[in-house]
Amino acid sequence: MSRQILHVDMDAFFASVEQLDNPALAGRPVVVGARSRRGVVAAASYEARTWGVHSAMSMVEALRRCPKAVVCPPRRERYNEVSKHVFSIFERFTPEVEGLSIDEAFLDVTASRRLYGDGYEIASQIKQAIRDEVCLTASAALAPSKFVAKTASALHKPDGLVEIMPAEVASFLGPLALERMWGLGPVAVRKLGHAGFKTIGDLATADERTLVVLLGSAGTGIQRLAKGIDHRPVVVGRAPKSFGAEETFEQDIVAIDELERHLLNKSMRVAERLSTRGLRGRVVTLKLKFSDFQLRSARRSLDEPCADTDTIYEVARGLLRKIATGSKAVRLVGVSVSGLTTGGAQGTLFVDPRTIRRGKLQAVSNEISRRFGRGQLTRATLLGND
């Protein structure tokens, strides 16, 4: 019995949620993101996409292309709420769900066919449940592997449903342009293009040694995928590798004390996301982008994992003073925590009392945010700042 892997991807998720919650936006071009000189498009409705607007585009360019677009600031809590409902629908049909992001997932429905019918019928039921209960549409593709399912779903949006049978894999992948190959970045696409490769089929029939020369050790794996060979399982409950927050400023910042206030705000956001999920991290990383677009980063490993604002901020602040020049303007600051683990601090016989106090403070902050919404509690240092 061949595997049946389903890839489900919500259609223009953030923008669709905005249109759902505000019926006046139905049928209008909607762009989600910050309406600012340095804002970036997080999502665009299909009405906006007809004007050439797409995610990761600068907001300035998006509004130049589509002046009548309605710009909606992101509402992460609302998107998370809808996402949880969608994922609960997935889990009715199979426990084997691997979330790729807030709005897409792989589902292994091989064993579910005894209860719910074949894979295509399961996909239809899932799409209908999302439509009935969430009032949104999703696109889905069924295939023998994750790679083929992901590739196929991207070609049938919005509200698509397609099945690629095992015997159809080669004929499906072969004619597709290299840009359609999931996992192949733009640099690799350009390099392969210069070498004469145009389609996924070209990679499948190429000499493996040529691909290794062009792409390094990844060349072998790329060719296997191009041939449709992908035995990777659906990984249930895959934990994130890190949590981070960053901000691009309206105006470049030089003053260290002002950068520190923004850094504190980002540390608060990361700490909340970690602690509400019962996670702690051992590595704090600071990222800066200067006015000349130069990127610099620094990281520090901790003796014990943390999940509180003060510890994250203290470490990030120390890193900031190491890599910020004091005279070079900064356009972006970001902080992230990785090396994640669950549970409390371990490995020491006596826990620093400051760690206990900080953990209690973080718990209070999280509870206030849960009851009354984010932003109801802040640090005095941040008052009066955007």
Pairing of strands 97-101, 70-72: unpaired
Which backbone phi and psi does 353 adopt, to 5 degrees?
Answer: -55, -30
Q: Which two tokens stand for residue 267?
A: 């540390």
The DSSP 8-state label assigned to residue 381 in this structure reads G
Residues contacting 67, CB < 8 A, separation 6+ = none
Check if the beta carbon of residue 288 is closer than 8 Å to that of residue 323: yes
In the residue annotation, 104 being an active-site residue is answered as: yes
Q: Is the peptide bond before 158 cis (omega within 30 degrees of 0)?
A: yes
Residues in the chain: 386
Could you say which of 18, 96, 98, 104 is catalytic? 104
Amino acid at 239: A
Amino acid at 201: G
Q: Give buried/exposed letters for 173-198 (b at 16+ CB in 10 A, else e).
A: bbebebebbeebeeebbeebeeeebe
Rounded-to-integer distance, Cα 321 and Cα 286, Å: 11
For the chain, the straight-line distance linking the first and the last C-alpha, in angstroms and rounded, comes to 57
Three-class SS state of 64: helix
**Strand 41-44's sheet: what is its strand order?**
41-44, 30-33, 70-72
Pairing of strands 41-44, 30-33: antiparallel
Rounded-to-integer distance, Cα 318 and Cα 302, Å: 13
Q: Which two tokens stand for residue 177?
A: 């342009």
Rounded-to-integer distance, Cα 206 and Cα 338, Å: 38
Check if the beta carbon of residue 11 is closer than 8 Å to that of residue 120: no
- Of 310, 301, 369, nearest to 340 by C-alpha is 301
Residues labelled as active-site residues: 104
